[in-house]
Amino acid sequence: MSEIIVGISDFKVSNNINDILITYALGSCVGVTIYDPVVKVGGLLHFMLPESSLDMRKAGENPAMFADTGIPFLFKTCYELGAKKKRMIVKVAGGASILDDANFFRIGQKNVTAMKKLFWKNNVLIEGEDTGSNCNRTFSIHISTGQAFVRTAHNGTRELV
Amino acid sequence: MISDKILKSIKNIPAFPAAAMKVMALIDDPNYSITDVADVVKYDQAITANILRICNSAYFGLRHKIVTINDAVMRLGQQNIVRAVQAAGVSTFYRKAKGYGLEANKLWEHSVGVALMTQILSKRIFKREDARLYTTALLHDIGKIIMGEFVDESFPQIHDLVSREGISFLDAEEKIIGINHADLGGRIASQWNFPKAMTDAIIYHHRPDLMQDEDNSGAWLVYLADQACIMMGIGLGSDGLAYKGLSEVIIKFKLRQKDFEECIMLMLEDLDRAREVIGMV
Ligand SMILES: [Fe+2]
Ligand SMILES: [Fe+2]
């Protein structure tokens, strides 16, 4: 098994059943895993902000930075490896917030909302979700099985189902 | 009641490097020259070595290897040299930092991220950089290097308090351990004879609203920069995001969400370029 690390504003896809895609320290950022069980193709995206309208140039350079450019990019890259949209299993984690979250800081909720809106518009179901709260999450997907895992300091590692 | 073990640990912390301290005093004079900085630094071997390392890193892409501190100072330029001296001086304290579920050097990466963010925010809000604030930000979580092992031992109780009573991690630390990492950092800063504004910014970095001195905008900038790094997961530990959000900071600095998000993007770019500095620990 080899761990492939996904950084912040980054994504990785794989069709190698020995790979585990993993991203550390999701705060307000959101992690999205997608998986096609038939061809065993999966991907993990770690986006940081909701909308690419903030900086179109940056979004062009690195689509993985924003929800609205990163998620379509993640899907497209998996299609290139033979994955099909109708077979995709989608799981999400992250989007945490600081306490008594003021308007200004609502990046966590905004990230989650932007992501859900996009999935809803495209008729994609989220099959596993662990979002919100104030905890630090590590998120991973095993390409061999498509299992996704969330790790937190207080709950240890748990499969996201 | 603070355990004797913690108080003893503070006493064992080495003195703050004299060279870094002198540079801090030096830059208070608006007419300081860059060669003055070189003169101070050249007597500190550890700092000199680190500065040469930064200078010869890929980031600066210099064709000829820099071997003397005077060359380094000329090449790095005023802003970079001051930042490099402070980072080189402070980094030694983070070398053995562990705790809060963090791997080695993550707390240092967090500190560098917060320091860079204070400069980006200061430029946007006050149209200037602030080298003293940079150093303060590098040290804001210095209390964590001692709190680390105590927090890890008591993590289940602290976390339980946070989730059951909805209090911040900071308050839970204080209830369970007897002191929080911000106050502990303040004690370390006092031991180093730091100026009050700097010590206050460390003590109040999670609660600048409790500070008496209302003119200490640096403390608010450290607070805001810290929140940004926490949200972005930079060196995020087991304490997670369980800190108090203070909406008045938006009004105080007249920042829009868009400004804040743009500053975050700039900070992540700077952090990418600061890999050599992060590698010092
Ligand atoms: Fe802190
Ligand atoms: Fe911090």
Q: Count up the domains in chain B and report the number.
A: 1
Rounded CA Rg of chain B = 18
Q: Which CATH number fits domain A2-159: 3.30.590.20, 3.30.420.40, 3.30.1330.60, 3.30.1330.200?
A: 3.30.1330.200
- Which of A147, A117, A148, A111 minimizes the C-alpha distance to A131? A111
B265:A108 CB<8 A: no
Q: What is the pLDDT of residue B111?
A: 96
Distance from CA of A14 to the nearest CA of B (A): 24
pLDDT per residue, tens digit, chain B (281 aa), is 677 889 889 999 999 999 999 988 888 888 888 888 889 998 899 889 888 888 887 666 677 888 888 888 888 887 788 888 899 899 989 988 889 999 878 999 999 999 999 999 999 999 998 888 999 999 999 999 999 989 999 999 999 999 999 999 999 999 999 999 999 999 999 999 999 999 999 999 999 999 998 889 999 999 999 999 999 999 999 999 999 999 899 889 999 989 999 999 999 999 998 887 888 77
B265:A134 CB<8 A: no
The mean predicted confidence, pLDDT, of chain A is 96
- The CATH number of whichever domain residue B271 belongs to comes to 1.10.3210.10
User: Is B129 contained in some domain?
Assistant: yes
Residues of A in contact with B247 (CB under 8 A): 102-105
Q: What is the pLDDT of residue B84?
A: 87
Tell me, in angstroms, the distance from the centre of ligand 2 to residue B111's CA: 7
Distance from CA of B166 to the nearest CA of A (A): 8
d(CA A29, CA B126): 28
A103:B247 CB<8 A: yes
- In a mutational test of the B interface, the residue from A98, A131, A139, A151 whose CB has the highest number of chain B CBs within 10 Å is A98
Could you read off the pLDDT of A44-65 as tens digits, one per residue?
999 999 999 999 999 999 999 9
Q: What is the pLDDT of residue A101?
A: 61
- Whether A29 is a known active-site residue: answer yes
| A109 token code pair | 């909720």
- In a mutational test of the B interface, the residue from A8, A112, A135, A150 whose CB has the highest number of chain B CBs within 10 Å is A135
Q: Looking at A20, A22, A26, A29, which residue is catalytic?
A: A29
Q: B interface toward A at CB cutoff 8 Å?
A: 101, 155-156, 159, 162-163, 166, 168, 227, 230-247, 249-250, 255, 257-258, 260-262, 264-265, 268
Q: What is the pLDDT of residue B209?
A: 95
Show me where the domains of chain A are located. Answer: 2-159
Domain that holds residue B188: 2-15+94-278
Q: What is the pLDDT of residue A104?
A: 65
Could you read off the pLDDT of B134-178 as tens digits, one per residue?
999 999 999 999 999 899 999 999 999 999 999 999 999 999 999
A25:B234 CB<8 A: yes
User: Is B38 contained in some domain?
Assistant: no
Residues of A in contact with B227 (CB under 8 A): 98, 105
Confidence of residue A100 (pLDDT cuts 50, 70, 90): confident
Q: What is the pLDDT of residue B1?
A: 60
- Which of B174, B238, B205, B224 minimizes the C-alpha distance to A102? B224
User: Is B78 contained in some domain?
Assistant: no
Residues of A in contact with B156 (CB under 8 A): 154
Q: Which residues contact residue A94 at a Cβ distance below 8 angstroms, ignoring those fewer than 6 apart? A: A26, A27, A28, A29, A30, A31, A46, A108, A111, A112, A131, A137, A139
Tell me, in angstroms, the distance from the centre of ligand 1 to residue B137's CA: 10
A134:B155 CB<8 A: no
d(CA A149, CA A91): 10
Q: What is the pLDDT of residue B35?
A: 86
Q: What is the pLDDT of residue B79?
A: 79
Q: What is the pLDDT of residue B175?
A: 95
Q: Cα separations (Å) of A20 from A38, A128, A144, B142?
A: 18, 18, 8, 35
User: Is B27 contained in some domain?
Assistant: no
User: Is B271 contained in some domain?
Assistant: yes
- The rounded Cα B218 to chain-centroid distance in angstroms is 12
- Which of A44, A142, A51 minimizes the C-alpha distance to A93? A44
Q: Among residues 66-95 of chain A, which lie with CB inside 8 Å of chain B?
A: none
| Cβ atoms A67, A111 nearer than 8 A | yes
Could you read off the pLDDT of B192-220 as tens digits, one per residue?
999 999 999 999 999 999 999 888 999 99
B232:A153 CB<8 A: no
